[in-house]
Structure 1
Amino acid sequence: MRLLIIADTHVPTRARDLPPRIWDEVDGADVVVHAGDWMDVALLDAMEERSTRLVACWGNNDGPELRDRLPEVARATLEGVRLAVVHETGPSAGRDRRMHEAYPDTDVLVFGHSHIPWDTTAPGQCAGARGLRLLNPGSPTDRRRQPYCTYMTATLAGGLVGEVELHRLPRDR
């Protein structure tokens, strides 16, 4: 199973639309994971139309219409992998431990908010011997202080997370 992982799309405030490369990834993904800050319900509508399956939450910049349609924490089990998606996880210091305690029955936690890509595994037994995998894809539309706009892809099979890849978008978009 192939996942597209995005967050902090901020459409239409930071971009009129998602970059074409992201829409291509939506079309090729088995599941799209979005960790909030959509900003416009029209993007959610478009994503629901184009994606095979969407696992998504709302973010701190999302208004009532998006919050009515999306949970604060989205959960799904995909290929035997227990996934949770949330927008905010607080400061980076101590994040692994806090999330390990907050999501004990989760294998992978996808989050956003910071626009800073993150890929770590929290030590512990919350998800068996593997620990809790924490993923933040950055933002495909608003790089803030990062050198590039980014997103992630991942593969899942047989209860395991396969390759997780951070992708950079060209700066001249």
Structure 2
Amino acid sequence: MLIGIISDTHIPVRTQSLPEKVFEVFKNVDMIFHCGDIEVMSVIEELEKIAPVRAVHGNCDPYIGFNTHEVIEVDDVKIGLTHGVVYPKGDCQQLYYLAKELGVDILVSGHTHRPLIKQEADVLLLNPGSATQPRLSEPSVMLLEVNGSEVNAEVVKIGRPTCKALDFSQFSH
């Protein structure tokens, strides 16, 4: 099974729509996970035109109505879906403990707006980054392939960084 993973889209507060590249990357997926900070249901409705969507509540989703955590079984793998830990954002130890509480092999989160693929002991931690508002990274989504108990995760960059570094060469002597 091929799963498209997206998070922190923040539509329409920080941007108006999903980038077209999201639809290109997700065109052959069997399912889509959204890790929260959706803000409006039209985002889910757009993604559902591609494949069934499982989503969780993010800290910017006061009226969206999803659970804070989901557990999805795909083949021989249990996958947990969450927005993430509040403080410090992206703390792998807290994410690991949450995965253990949920009883999952893989924990997929968002919240940091930065992609992550990290094996933490017996749990695989995944974060697709943000397709619309990346932090210190390129806009990205993730593809997760599950075949029995075998998994393969890949971060897919879908654009250029939104904040360009300064050219400091002009300040050298």
TM-score interval (norm. to shorter):
0.7 to 0.9
Q: Are the equivalent residues in 1 in contact too, given 2:84–2:95 (CA < 8 A)?
A: no
Aligned letter for 1:161? Answer: V
Provide the residue aligned with 1:52 in structure 2: 51
Q: Are the equivalent residues in 2 in contact too, given 1:2–1:31 (CA < 8 A)?
A: yes
Aligned letter for 1:58? Answer: H
Q: Does 1:27 align with 2:27?
A: yes
How much does 1:172 deviate?
8.4
Provide the residue aligned with 1:128 in structure 2: none
Q: Are the equivalent residues in 2 in contact too, given 1:55–1:75 (CA < 8 A)?
A: no
How much does 1:46 deviate?
2.3
How much does 1:171 deviate?
2.2
The residue matched to 2:58 in structure 1 has which SS?
A: coil
Runs of 4+ in 1 over 3 A off after TM superposition: none
Provide the residue aligned with 1:87 in structure 2: 83
Residues 1:143 and 1:99: Cα distance change in structure 2 (over 3 Å): closer
| Worse overlay, 95-104 or 74-83 | 95-104
Task: Choose 1 or 2 for highest CA Rg.
Answer: 2
How much does 1:97 deviate?
3.0
Residues 1:92 and 1:57: Cα distance change in structure 2 (over 3 Å): closer
Gaps of 5+ in 1: 124-130
For residue 170 of structure 1, the aligned residue among 159, 164, 170 is 159
The residue matched to 1:51 in structure 2 has which SS?
A: coil
Q: Are the equivalent residues in 2 in contact too, given 1:140–1:151 (CA < 8 A)?
A: yes
**Partner Cα separation in structure 1 for residue 120 and residue 161 of structure 2:** 35
Provide the residue aligned with 1:109 in structure 2: 107
Q: Does 1:139 align with 2:136?
A: no
How much does 1:91 deviate?
2.0
Aligned letter for 1:101? Answer: Y
For residue 151 of structure 2, the aligned residue among 146, 161, 171 is 161
RMSD: 1.9
Q: Are the equivalent residues in 2 in contact too, given 1:5–1:137 (CA < 8 A)?
A: yes
How much does 1:42 deviate?
1.4
The residue matched to 2:96 in structure 1 has which SS?
A: helix
Provide the residue aligned with 2:166 in structure 1: none
The residue matched to 1:165 in structure 2 has which SS?
A: strand
